[in-house]
Amino acid sequence: MNETATCSNCETTLVVVDLTEHDHVSCSQCGATFPLSQVSDTPPRTSRQAVASMVLGVASIVGLFFTGIPAIFLGIRALVRMRRNPLLLKGHSMAIVGILSGGGFGLICGSCVSLMFFGAQIGANFAMQRLECVAHVEEIGMALESYRLAHDQLPPPSSTDSNGKPLLSWRVLILPYFSQHPEYKQLYDKFHLDEPWDSAHNKTLLNQIPTVYRCPADPVATGPFTNYAAVTGKGSAFDLQDTRDDKDNPGPLRAHVLVGEVPSSEKISWTE
C-alpha cells in the first residue's frame, strides 16, 4: 500500500511504498535522506497485524489453540513493527489484547481441554477394561456351575494323586465347561492329568493361558500368571463341596463367593 510523506528539507511530497518496510526516505528533488520518524504530516495507521491478532485472540475462546497460536504470532510481529516505526503504526493495545487472549484462551484453555479429553479417554478405556474383567468372572462362574451340574459338586481346588499330592488347578479342570470357548477343551486335552502342573510336559502349556483368566485392567499382567483365584478355606463353597449335592442345593450357586480377583504380581500360575 502506497503512503505519502513530506520532505522536511524542501517540502516536496513523496510517495513511499509500504512505510513499514523502510527505515529512511530519499527525496527525489533535493536528495536529502531522513528517517521516517521525522515525517511530520504522515498520520499513523492501525497495524493490520495488530487487528488480526486481536480478532484471532478473541476467537480463541471458541477456536482454542487453533486461533490462539496465530494470534500470539501476529501480535508479537505487530509490536516489533510498531516499535520500529512508532510514528507510522499504531495498535499496541490491540496487539497486546491478541497476545494475552490468544495465550489465555488459546493455549491454557486449549491445553486444559486437551488434558480433559485425554483423561476422559483413559478413564473410558479403563472402565471398558474393568467391565471385561467382570465379564471374565461371570464366565468362570458359569463354567464352575456347569462343572457342578455335571459332577454333582464343584471342582476341587486342585486335583491330587493317590498320595494326596496336588496336581492341576481347578482352572484346568473347568476348561471343557466354557461353552463359548471350544478351544479351551482342546487345550484341556493336551494336559497330562496324572502329572503335576510343573511337570516337564505340563510346563510347556503354561504360556497358553486362556484370556478368560486374565484381567485387562491389570497393567502388569504378563507370563502365565492369572488374575483369578478360588476362595477356599473353612466355610467357603469349595470347603463344603464334599457334603453338598444337588439334593441339598438344586439351584445355581448365586449366593456363594467362588472366585476373587488378585493382581498378577502375586505370581499365581494359572495351572498351579
The predicted-structure confidence for 59-81, as pLDDT tens digits, reads as follows 776 666 667 777 777 778 888 87
What gap in Å lies between CA 80 and CA 85, rounded to an integer?
Answer: 9
| pLDDT value of position 244 | 47
Q: How far apart are CA 90 and CA 30, in angstroms?
A: 30
Residue 175 reports pLDDT greater than 90: yes
Strand pairing of 45-46 and 89-90?
parallel
- Residues 254, 260, 265: CA angle, nearest 5 degrees: 165
pLDDT of 177 reads 92
- In tens, the pLDDT along 115-135 reads 676 666 666 666 776 788 888
CB–CB of 5/40 below 8 Å? Answer: no
Q: Any idea how long the chain is?
A: 272
Where does the pLDDT of residue 246 fall: very low under 50, low under 70, confident under 90, or very high at 90 and above? very low
Find the DSSP H helices in the chain: 48-63, 65-84, 92-101, 110-151, 170-173, 182-188
**pTM of the predicted model as reported, rounded to 2 decimal places:** 0.53
Are 123 and 96 within 8 A, CB to CB? no
Q: How high is the mean pLDDT of the chain?
A: 74
pLDDT value, residue 167: 92
Nearest to 63, CA basis, from 91, 101, 118, 115: 101
Q: Is the pLDDT of residue 190 over 90?
A: yes
Higher pLDDT, residue 8 or 69: 69
Per-residue pLDDT tens for 191-202? 999 999 999 999
Q: What average pLDDT score do residues 204-219 get?
A: 87
pLDDT at residue number 45: 74
With contact defined as beta carbons under 8 Å apart, do 91 and 51 qualify? yes
Whether 142 shows a pLDDT value over 60: the answer reads yes
Q: What mean pLDDT do residues 10-14 have?
A: 58
| 109: CB partners within 8 A, 6+ apart | 60, 61, 64
Between residues 30 and 194, which one has the greater pLDDT? Answer: 194
**What grid cell was written down for 64?**
482454542
Which amino acid is it at 194? D
